[in-house]
């Protein structure tokens, strides 16, 4: 009988031992095209027959600090949100900004005046020759953008807002028109003023215009402060090399340097404005289009960071090497031409990987929410994280919503990017000192299940990940 009791105890202990949770704590969420945002139970077991993805992390190999993630407050986004019930609208906003269960967005963009996702063209002062900005007004923004921002900040009061113009007041351009490229279907720019030539300023580069435009920026910042919204930074021009049929303004790089060094920087300083000045948003790969601005006189003293989007991804590596202490931002994820599909999420992951590997401190999505057409008022169909059908009012969370959340919900501001070794082609890793967690995002780009092996010091994390899946593992160490 005694032997039998000992045997029973041994069997029970062995059974208990087999059912114990792994010693290391790992939270794991996975997304495939068919199963988006699936919470997985981490067991730490190995499946020997699977191909291996091996990642090695050393917590001493820290790279840039992460400032955060976000999207853009656009007028057409607010219009889309107002198509659904108040409860549904609140849920969507929570899913973007809630710091417990949402994407936890903390840095977001907005336009200064109209952009391509405005309801129509406007600036904050269309009074020709008003160099004193006596007719400056943000009343238009009180209809859509300010309510949009304030609803976000009710959910997360720490949301920072940065702003950039797509176009100055039209009377400050040689053409007296918001567009740079004629398109009779979408604008009335005379053909004689239509040009896609780069490196030639469409802005009137005379002192009184420079002074008035610096005042325009300062008045914008102050007006928003009076409205209860702090503008954390301004980026001087959206895509300064791109002539578009929608609001746009091409600048010669040296002229941007003149504007920053001789007018905008001194204006913000004299007005005691804390708002940062960034060189953004850079959309060309040539390093000299950045250095020609930064190196003009003392422009660098006023520039707090550099923002990149689209073909600007080709410049970020060289810019980071040239200005290693400069803060860098990916300012507008590429739009996918309205596909809103899994391939768009794969493409965006590649962008995330590229930007973070080359020094970016933050990553911005573009349109957070749009109607089902995704179209701007100037005819370009683009992606959004969430789509709302204008007829049925159905709400669809697109794959890129979940991809953004795979990072933004776990990589807290103040985290640092880690230099990873091994099979790192599809992996990005971060470390959060505050809560002692390592965040690993891996994409299995094959059709087959694979075993992810992540070594962190003495710990080894093992997880069998599905084919074509994004996986975030949060490892408490």
For residue 48, what pLDDT is reported?
A: 79
For residue 246, what pLDDT is reported?
A: 98
Phi, psi of 397 (to 5 degrees): -90, 110
pLDDT digits (tens, 9 = 90+) for 8-66: 434 443 443 444 456 799 999 999 999 999 999 999 988 879 999 999 999 999 999 99
How many angstroms separate the CA atoms of 71 and 80, rounded?
15
Farthest-apart Cα atoms in the chain, separation? 104
Which whole-number Å values give the CA distances from 54 to 37, 83, 324, 425, in the listed order?
A: 23, 47, 30, 11
Computed from CA positions of residues 204, 206, 209, 215, in that sequence, does the dihedral angle turn out positive or negative?
Answer: positive
Which whole-number Å values give the CA distances from 287 to 88, 228, 318, in the listed order?
A: 45, 38, 6
For residue 22, what pLDDT is reported?
A: 61
How many angstroms separate the CA atoms of 142 and 417, rounded?
38
Could you tell me where the beta strands, DSSP code E, fall in 107-241?
Answer: 107-112, 160-165, 231-235
For residue 46, what pLDDT is reported?
A: 86
Q: Rounded to 5 degrees, what angle do the CA atoms 448, 453, 459 make?
A: 160
Report the predicted TM-score, pTM, of the whole model to 2 decimal places.
Answer: 0.95
Going from the N-terminus, what domains does the chain have, and what CATH number goes with each? Answer: 25-63+419-476 (2.60.40.1180), 67-410 (3.20.20.80)
Concatenating the DSSP letter of every residue in 411-455 gives S-TT-EEEEEEES-TTEEEEEETTTTEEEEEEEE-SSS-EEEEEE
For residue 47, what pLDDT is reported?
A: 83
Concatenating the DSSP letter of every residue in 255-302 gives HHHHIIIIIIHHHHHHTT---EEEEEEE-S--THHHHHHHTSTTHHHH
Q: Which residues contact 70 (CB under 8 A, 6 or more apart)?
A: 105, 106, 107, 108, 109, 159, 362, 364, 365
H helices of 282-373, in order, are 288-294, 299-302, 316-322, 342-357
How many angstroms separate the CA atoms of 194 and 306, rounded?
29
Q: Residue with structure tokens 């749009």?
A: 370
For residue 268, what pLDDT is reported?
A: 99
For residue 23, what pLDDT is reported?
A: 76
Are the CB atoms for 398 and 91 separated by under 8 Å? no
For residue 1, what pLDDT is reported?
A: 45
How many angstroms separate the CA atoms of 76 and 374, rounded?
9
Q: What is the mean pLDDT of each run of 10 residues along the chain (477 residues)?
A: 41 42 86 98 91 97 98 98 98 99 98 98 98 98 98 98 99 98 98 98 98 99 98 98 98 98 98 98 98 98 98 98 98 97 98 98 98 98 98 98 98 98 98 97 98 96 98 97
Q: Which residues contact 386 (CB under 8 A, 6 or more apart)?
A: 92, 95, 368, 369, 370, 395, 396, 397, 398, 401
For residue 17, what pLDDT is reported?
A: 40
């Amino acid at each position: 009988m005694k032997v039998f009791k000992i045997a029973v105890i041994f069997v029970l202990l062995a059974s208990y031992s087999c059912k114990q949770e792994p010693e290391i704590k790992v939270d794991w969420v996975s997304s495939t095209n068919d199963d988006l945002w699936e919470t997985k139970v981490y067991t730490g077991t190995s499946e020997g027959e699977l191909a291996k993805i091996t990642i090695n992390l050393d917590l001493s190999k820290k790279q840039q600090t992460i400032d955060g993630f976000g999207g853009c407050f656009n007028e057409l986004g607010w219009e889309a949100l107002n198509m659904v019930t108040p409860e549904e609208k609140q849920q969507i906003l929570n899913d973007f900004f809630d710091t417990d269960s949402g994407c936890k967005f903390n840095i977001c963009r907005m336009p200064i005046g109209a952009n391509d996702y405005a309801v129509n063209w406007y600036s904050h002062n269309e009074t020709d020759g008003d160099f004193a900005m006596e007719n400056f007004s943000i009343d238009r923004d009180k209809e859509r953008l300010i309510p949009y921002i304030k609803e976000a900040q009710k959910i997360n009061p720490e949301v920072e807002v940065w702003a950039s113009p797509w176009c100055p007041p039209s009377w400050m351009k040689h053409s007296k028109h918001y567009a740079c490229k004629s398109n009779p279907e979408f604008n009335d720019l005379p053909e004689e003023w239509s040009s896609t030539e780069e490196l030639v300023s469409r802005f009137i580069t005379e002192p009184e215009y420079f002074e008035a435009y610096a005042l325009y920026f300062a008045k914008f910042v102050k007006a928003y402060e009076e409205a209860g919204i702090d503008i954390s930074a301004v980026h001087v021009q959206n895509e300064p090399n791109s002539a578009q049929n929608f609001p746009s303004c091409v600048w010669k790089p040296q002229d941007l340097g003149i504007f920053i060094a001789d007018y905008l920087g001194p204006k913000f300083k004299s007005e005691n404005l804390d708002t940062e000045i960034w060189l953004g948003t850079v959309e060309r790969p040539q390093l000299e289009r950045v250095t020609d601005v930064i190196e003009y006189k003392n422009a660098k003293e006023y520039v707090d960071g550099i923002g990149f989007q689209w073909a600007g991804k080709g410049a970020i590596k060289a810019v980071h090497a040239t200005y290693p202490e400069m803060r860098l931002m990916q300012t507008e994820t590429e739009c996918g031409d309205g596909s809103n599909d899994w391939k768009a999420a794969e493409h965006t992951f590649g962008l995330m990987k590229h930007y973070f590997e080359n020094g970016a401190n933050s990553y911005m999505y573009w349109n957070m929410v749009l109607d089902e057409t995704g179209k701007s008022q100037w005819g370009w169909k683009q992606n959004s994280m969430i789509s709302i059908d204008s007829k049925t009012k159905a709400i669809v969370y697109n794959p890129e919503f979940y991809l953004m959340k795979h990072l933004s919900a776990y990589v807290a501001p103040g985290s640092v990017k880690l230099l990873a070794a091994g099979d790192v082609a599809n992996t990005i890793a971060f470390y959060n000192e505050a809560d002692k967690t390592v965040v690993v995002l891996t994409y299995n780009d094959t059709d087959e299940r694979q075993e992810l092996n992540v070594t962190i010091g003495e710990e080894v994390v093992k997880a069998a990940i599905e084919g074509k899946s994004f996986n975030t593992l949060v490892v408490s160490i």
